[in-house]
């Protein structure tokens, strides 16, 4: 994502800046038991979000299962109501890239991803 940057993340999420690179050998990692895993991405300009891609190539970790996408025009958002819920999506239990069409395209400058559940029983989850 050209010009995008990580603005906020869960304290336990390490390597969050790797989420914005195209290098499949780099990833973000956190203990799976952390129930409040999230990351906020600031985009370089307002965009109409139609699709989100999630990638995971790590073989020896648990993978994201359910995740929620929220969008906002302001950051930091004054209240939780400033985040529009773009839906909860379920990834497949497989390595590689997966694309998710948004149920309703939405304009956003900031995206928040909440990682709600995972596949597997490994100690670490990667994205």
Residue 4 has pLDDT above 70, yes or no: yes
- SS3 for 56? strand
Q: What is the mean pLDDT of the chain?
A: 93
First to last CA, the chain: 16
- As beta bridge partners, residue 97 has 55
Burial grade of 99 (CB within 10 A; 0-12, 13-18, 19 or more)? exposed
pLDDT above 90: residue 127: no
* Euclidean distance between CA atoms 91 and 44, whole angstroms: 26
pLDDT (0 to 100) of residue 40: 97
Interval 75-126: pLDDT, tens:
998 888 899 999 999 999 999 999 999 999 999 999 999 999 999 999 999 9
Q: How far is CA 63 from the centre of its chain?
A: 12
- pLDDT of res. 1: 59
């Amino acid at each position: 994502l050209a010009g995008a940057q990580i603005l906020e993340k869960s304290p336990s999420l390490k390597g969050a800046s790797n989420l914005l690179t195209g290098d499949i050998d780099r990833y973000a990692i956190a203990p799976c038991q952390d129930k409040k895993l999230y990351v906020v991405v600031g985009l370089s300009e307002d965009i109409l979000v139609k699709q989100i891609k999630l990638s995971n190539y790590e073989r020896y970790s648990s993978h994201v299962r359910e995740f929620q996408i929220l969008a906002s025009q302001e950051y930091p958002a004054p209240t939780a109501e400033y985040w529009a819920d773009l839906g909860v999506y379920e990834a497949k239990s497989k390595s590689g890239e997966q694309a998710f069409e948004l149920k309703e395209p939405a304009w956003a400058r900031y995206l928040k991803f909440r990682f709600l559940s995972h596949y597997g029983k490994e100690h670490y989850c990667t994205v």
